[in-house]
Structure 1
Amino acid sequence: TVVNNSYELAKNYVDDVRDKVQSEIILIAFDTNKSKNFLNDNVSEYTKFLNTQKLIRKVDEIHIINSNKQLLFSTLDDKNSYTPPVDEILNLVLDDDRPLKIINAFENISAAIIRLQNFDDRFLYVVKYLDKNISKYLTESEEAINFYYTVEEKSTGIKISFAVIYVIIVSLLLFISISIAIRFSSRFFRSINNLIYASIAIGEGNFNSKVPELKTDKDLEILNKNFNLMIDRLKIQQEKLITNERYEAWGSLARKLAHEIKNPLTPILLTIDRIKNKFLNQISENEKNDFQDNLKIINNQIKQIENLVNEFSDFARMPKPILRRNDLIPIIQDNINLLKEIDLSIEINFLTKHNSIFFNSDREQLSRVFLNLIKNSIESIQEKSKNTVNFVKKISIELDENDDHIKSVITDNGIGLDTLKIKINEVFNPYFTTKVNGTGLGLSIVKKIINDHNGFIQLLPITNGAKVEIIFNKNDS
């Protein structure tokens, strides 16, 4: 073949060069041995002699070295470019008068070395350069031939290997496709199953159930998100419905209590006046003061009962809000100005970055909300100051809005709920109170008003004092 012919041609060239170097080194060694006395280790004479031999024999480098590979004489102008033979080659000719051929195609040289018989510890080292292209072709041809025969010998194995590789690749692609399909389908069916389980839980009345918002198909993500929003809205509507039903029940109870309690109050008051007018002049001077004090105590207790009845009546007759466009800032500021006179030592800060915040609301009812909450904060601070020395009394009222909500936060450093060991979710229940003379209806009325305005109120736990947050939804107002 062409490759074989090219390889043989290049190989013959290398063999010819190697044979020529071998024959030429024998002649050079013969002339050198014969010229021992003439040369007499004179560097100049050696250099002329070796250069002459180089021209005559048509070689590229001639060196004389010792057994330590030390360069003694050379045709090279730059002695640093000298490359000594390896130790193994030098050892082969130490005790042999025959020349040793050296071939190294990768370095593009053909060389030979021989011991000089008439000299002590001296060797003649001759180098001839190979044609770089032919050397390259020889190497490439040899590699190509080796590869060709290797492929030819192993063609069956290669075919089998390709078949195995093909099967592996196809199997791998099939496995990847199945894995992707299983993963996608599992995520899809997991989302559907989550929706089914959440629907069952909602049907059983568990509105705290949520669908996990997994990373899946975009449409399913939107479906899960909207489903959770629907659950939140249903939960809010259910809470409002339960709250309204509870308030209706408490309102009905309050009306009955107010009616039953208020009926006997007027006859009792009239009877006390008659007793006072009839017996005051018949009692001795020493007992008149006690008599009047006792009647006064009875009157005060009846007035407390009357106030309680009025609270019941107000709670029972809480009207629907009449919604108008009101500015919340002056509503809050008016209540602050009114209540700060109760205790001038309390610092009340009203914080808002807006000049006005308008909201569709019942001005009178919202004023009642902030009046009740600020008044509770003042009473809480006053209670704490009785047992605290150098107590700095503070109330902070914050008001802010965005496109969707209006939020107000009232914070005080009074006794707080933690001190009283009260559960936060019990505070807004009707008739729940921590005050000695309280009716337990104030915060209940506040919550009902806020619910009627489609708002939300909650107590937030803090370390010292109390924090109330009110949120009104502007879109629902």
Structure 2
Amino acid sequence: MIEFLKKNIFIIILSSITLFIGFLTFLTFIDRSFIELNQNNLQYLLIVNIFLLILLFLFIFLEVKRSIKIDIDKDGLKSNKRYITYFSLFTLIPSILISIFSLFLFSFALEKYFDKKVTTVVNNSYELAKSYVEEVRNKIESDIILIAFDTNKSAKFLNDNPKEYERFLKTQKLIRDIDEIHIIDQNKKLLFTNLDDLTRYLPPLDRALKLVLDDDRPLKIINAPQNISAAIIRLQAFENRFLYVVKYLDKDISKYLNESQEAINFYYTVEERSTGIKISFAIIYLIIVTLLLFISITIAIRFSSRFFRSINNLILASTAIGEGDLSSKVPEIKTDKDMEKLNKNFNSMINRLKDQQEKLIINERHEAWGNLARKLAHEIKNPLTPIQLSIDRLKEKYSNQIDSNEKVNFEENLKIINNQINQIGNLVNEFSDFARMPKPIFKKNNLIDIIKDNIKLLSEIDLSIKINFVPSKSHLEFECDKEQLGRVIFNLIKNSIESIQQKAENTGNFDKIITIEIFDKNDHISIVINDSGIGFSNFRKNIKDILNPYFTTKKNGTGLGLSIVNKIINDHNGKLNFFSVPNGAKVEIVFY
């Protein structure tokens, strides 16, 4: 997911900006934005929206096209493209239908929002609240006239007696249902009141007091403090006295009135800009749907490519194998666990098939060379005995007859012939051994002891060569033919010794070392022999040529040693590997 966000960061930023501008346009249409609501601003916002939307579509199209080229076209499978197309269409068609339905539903809901009944309810709710306030204010106007009439009539009775005024005003409060009744002078000084707490008294506005100085009619105070309705009137029976009454409205009535007014203003603003709101809603919806489509198509491409790439690799590998190329492998790529397991099992199967093929080829090759060796041994061995007998007769018959000066040459020549006969005899014996290679007899043996015994035999050949073998354990049981496996170890160490000796003939001082290591893994055992000899630099192109029978680089070699070694290892379900390393060679035996 993080990789997806990083890869498409530009599209995500562009989408966020486009979405923000879309919402800003919507808020501007309903006059709830920081941008002033006018024709020019709306026009600019719509142009910016359309430009960003086209830009977003363009970048999404290019990104999808690039993903198809990288993740689908590269695989070359028609089924992959077909499934991606189907998936995209099945995502696109419902999204388009839902978009059309949602836009239609929004348009229908908006039209219903401006229905005549809704408009009537909105208007009536405000009128009811307004009428309530007007009723309270009109009532206070009639109440103050009645209180003023009673006050004027009781002027003599009251006689500026504070107690009588207090009793009179409290009685008027109960009768008229008025919260505050004050008698003040033209300087707004409080003369008498029904309030026990005088700090609650709030004097009327100067302008209101001036209006009733020379007028006997009552004055409603419209701009009274919130939730208060007030009135003031001049008392005709008194000099410089005014009656000021206050009625508390319901504590939430002003709040409801203001909210109703705001709701009506908002309602008619939305009604006036309904077309623009529909456009901005459509833009916002298009942006969201486009992003969802892009994400779904991109995810479809990624998941499909991961799946079909593995299938494609399997098809290509199986085709190559069908044509006989067993070196073909399925690339190990990051995909679903099941597909990774399938790829791994397929490669493992090919490796086993290749190993079996190699073993079969080796066995066939050894059988063919064995038949040849048997025939050669037979054909060569037959004339060797008569030749040897003829040499002995020549020596007996003519050794006494030859002049003493020629006798030395005569005996020297006979000696050379004998040496050549012995060498041919040895070659015949090796041919016979190769042809008569017995099948291994498997028994449980200590592999460590087999290696140590052969090191002991070979360490005396050249004391200047150091053979290092320090196993991690003293006992490693392995089912094998002890004699044949000992022959393998013997031949390989002997080859390393001869390689070092051959290098020493042409090179000065160097470390003459043979290192032997053994590793016991879960599924195989490996024996590694490293030496500081001449290495395999002459066989970099095809290092396995040295395993072919009769292939040798030694002066007196028959080319059968490594071939015999390879056959023994194959008979033990193993594999022989050669590696060129700096300043030497590395041979690895792996037993499965």
TM-score by length of 1: 0.67
1:415 correspondence with 2:534: yes
Q: Is the 8 A contact 1:347 1:393 kept in 2?
A: yes
**Cα pair distance change 1:454/1:191, threshold 3 Å:** same
The residue that corresponds to 2:372 in the other structure is 253
Quote the offset at 1:245 in angstroms: 1.1
Cα deviation code 1:319-377 (max 9, x no counterpart): 11111111111111111111111111111111210111111110001110111111111
1:460 correspondence with 2:579: yes
Larger RCO of the pair (alpha carbons < 8 Å, separation 6+): 2
The residue that corresponds to 2:337 in the other structure is 218
Quote the offset at 1:158 in angstroms: 1.7
RMSD in angstroms over aligned alpha carbons? 3.1
The residue that corresponds to 1:32 in the other structure is none
The residue that corresponds to 1:301 in the other structure is 420
Quote the offset at 1:232 in angstroms: 1.4
The residue that corresponds to 1:319 in the other structure is 438
The residue that corresponds to 1:268 in the other structure is 387
Quote the offset at 1:384 in angstroms: 1.7
Per residue, is there more helix in 1 or in 2?
Answer: 2
The residue that corresponds to 1:290 in the other structure is 409
1:209 correspondence with 2:328: yes
From 484, 487, 508, the counterpart of 1:365: 484
1:470 correspondence with 2:589: yes
CA distance in 2, matches of 1:222, 1:418: 38
Quote the offset at 1:421 in angstroms: 7.4
The residue that corresponds to 1:443 in the other structure is 562
Cα deviation code 1:175-228 (max 9, x no counterpart): 544554454444444433332332221111011222234444433332222222
The residue that corresponds to 2:515 in the other structure is 396
CA distance in 1, matches of 2:539, 2:340: 45
Q: Is the 8 A contact 1:459 1:469 kept in 2?
A: yes
CA distance in 2, matches of 1:214, 1:432: 41
Given residue 517 of structure 2, which amino acid in structure 1 is its aligned partner?
E
**Cα pair distance change 1:287/1:137, threshold 3 Å:** farther
Q: Is the 8 A contact 2:126 2:257 kept in 1?
A: no
**Cα pair distance change 1:458/1:217, threshold 3 Å:** closer
The residue that corresponds to 1:378 in the other structure is 497
**Cα pair distance change 1:138/1:282, threshold 3 Å:** farther
The residue that corresponds to 1:352 in the other structure is 471
Q: Is the 8 A contact 2:579 2:585 kept in 1?
A: yes
For the residue of structure 2 that corresponds to 1:332, the secondary structure is helix
CA distance in 2, matches of 1:320, 1:463: 37
From 326, 337, 358, the counterpart of 1:239: 358
The residue that corresponds to 2:347 in the other structure is 228
Given residue 391 of structure 1, which amino acid in structure 2 is its aligned partner?
F
Quote the offset at 1:285 in angstroms: 2.6
Given residue 544 of structure 2, which amino acid in structure 1 is its aligned partner?
N
Q: Is the 8 A contact 2:496 2:533 kept in 1?
A: yes
**Cα pair distance change 1:417/1:178, threshold 3 Å:** closer
* Total equivalences in the alignment: 351
CA distance in 2, matches of 1:290, 1:403: 66
**Cα pair distance change 1:465/1:194, threshold 3 Å:** closer
Q: Is the 8 A contact 2:536 2:579 kept in 1?
A: no
1:428 correspondence with 2:547: yes
Quote the offset at 1:301 in angstroms: 0.6
For the residue of structure 2 that corresponds to 1:368, the secondary structure is helix
For the residue of structure 1 that corresponds to 2:491, the secondary structure is helix
TM-score by length of 2: 0.54
CA distance in 1, matches of 2:267, 2:394: 136
For the residue of structure 2 that corresponds to 1:390, the secondary structure is coil
For the residue of structure 1 that corresponds to 2:581, the secondary structure is coil
Q: Is the 8 A contact 1:417 1:423 kept in 2?
A: no
**Cα pair distance change 1:253/1:281, threshold 3 Å:** same
- State which drifts further: 337-346 or 204-213: 204-213
Given residue 196 of structure 1, which amino acid in structure 2 is its aligned partner?
I
Given residue 343 of structure 2, which amino acid in structure 1 is its aligned partner?
N
CA distance in 1, matches of 2:566, 2:448: 20
1:199 correspondence with 2:318: yes
CA distance in 1, matches of 2:293, 2:506: 79
CA distance in 1, matches of 2:349, 2:518: 29
Identity across matched positions, percent: 70
Unaligned runs of 5+ in 2: 1-122, 134-186, 190-254
The residue that corresponds to 1:158 in the other structure is 277
**Cα pair distance change 1:180/1:314, threshold 3 Å:** same
Quote the offset at 1:293 in angstroms: 1.5
Unaligned runs of 5+ in 1: 10-55, 59-135
